[in-house]
A and B are shown apart, each in its own frame.
Chain A
Amino acid sequence: KETFEGHQVLRITAKDEAQLALIKDLEDMIHFELDFWRGVTDVASPVDVRVPFHSLQSVKVYLETKAIEYATMIEDLQALLEKEQEEMDAVARA
């Protein structure tokens, strides 16, 4: 079973079209293995992206050097998944 230890989901907010284009460039950086949960649309809409642990530092550095704002939407994806699984197991037992 694939686990997501160390993965985070970042919420990225562009302040203008230029930053939006820079975020769009992330989509083409295949080696980061990013999973866009909410894709690049317009400046008013944040972008949510799941970042594997091995890419976290690089992606954050990329965003910070371009002065693109982001927040950590999900700090520990695996912890949330385990909680979800525990809830399902509890229901099944009940």
Chain B
Amino acid sequence: ARSTDSFDYANYHTISEIYNFQDMLVRENPNLVSKIVIGQSYEGRPLSVLKFSTGANRPGLWIDTGIHSREWVTQASGTWFAKKIATAYGSDPALTAILNNMDIFLLIMTNPDGFAYTQTNNRMWRKTRKPNPGSSCVGVDPNRNWDAGFGEPGASNNPCSETYRGPRANSESEVKSIVDFVRSHGNLKSFISIHSYSQMLLYPYGYTSTPAKDQAELHSLAKKAITALASLYGTRYRYGSIINTIYQASGGTIDWTYNQGIKYSYTFELRDTGDYGFLLPANQIIPTAEETWLALMVIMKHAYKNAY
């Protein structure tokens, strides 16, 4: 594509096409979008965050996609979100109000080595690509590698497992880079991590059945968000805490962010209408992104209007 207008959002793209898309978006919107490299993957790929900002020293809203590399609809949706944010600023009053007061950080390629591997070697790859000493199995589940109940039930200590937690919390540079960014920023107000599939919107905790301090508010906001999402195509979501809605999962992303004080910490499982699992047909990318955007806006608006 010559520009982000001609980029084909309705198809899946290679990692270099997505990186090029990000650079184009920055070039086209120099007063709104910048790119921050917060670290690099095990294989040396950049972890590039798109920062949407109209001022200095603002509180932030975080969105990431693709931490599980085979969940292709998430990176594709992230690309669509990036363009949406850039075009809606100045025309959508709600988003404009948010961006006049807060920054949005969007990490589309959260697990770039895994994503590259899905396109070159194994479409079903989920984990990172760092070798595990003493094992022939590669990679760590980056959604079990955070310092929140790390090592407790709900993750595997077997390097060959799809839910291998890693040798220690933050052992994966893909995770550590986000941890360092979140800590150094110090003023993120929401953190939304996007997965697929199974149509759920979840909040902490996953590692413990102790309810989050803000559970009532998180629950009510989740309900509003999935109602907005369903208003477009009728896609039905379940919602609740991770441990009550799916199963016990330790070392998870949003448990850590919530424990860092980011109240509006959520994780999505995007749609699978049609029983395709991780192979959601490309013609469903835009509908998925569109409906998810409605839910994201509900959460971001709430975070903006309920400063803490």
Contacts and interface: CB of A to CB of B under 8 A. Distances in A.
B19 interface: no
B11 interface: yes
Nearest to A94: B8
Interface of B: 8, 11-14, 120-124, 160, 162, 197-198, 245-247, 275-279, 281-282
Interface of A: 1-2, 4, 9, 11, 30, 35-41, 45, 48, 50, 73-74, 77, 80-81, 84, 87-88, 91-92, 94
Contacts of B247: 39-41
B8 to A, nearest CB: 6
A40 B278 CA distance: 17
B246 A2 contact: no
Contact of A74 (B14, B162, B279): B279
Majority DSSP secondary structure for residues of B touching A: loop
Contact of B8 (A30, A35, A91): A91
Given A36-B162, A39-B246, A84 B277 contact: no
A37 B276 contact: no
Contact of A35 (B124, B198, B276): B124
B268 to A, nearest CB: 15
Given A2-B124, A88-B12, 11 more contacts: A11-B275, A37-B278, A41-B245, A48-B277, A77-B279, A80-B279, A84-B12, A84-B281, A88-B13, A88-B14, A92-B14
10 tightest Cβ-Cβ pairs between the two chains A and B: A2-B122, A91-B11, A73-B275, A37-B277, A80-B279, A41-B246, A38-B198, A81-B123, A41-B247, A88-B12
Given A84-B12, A87-B11, A87-B282, A9 B123 contact: no
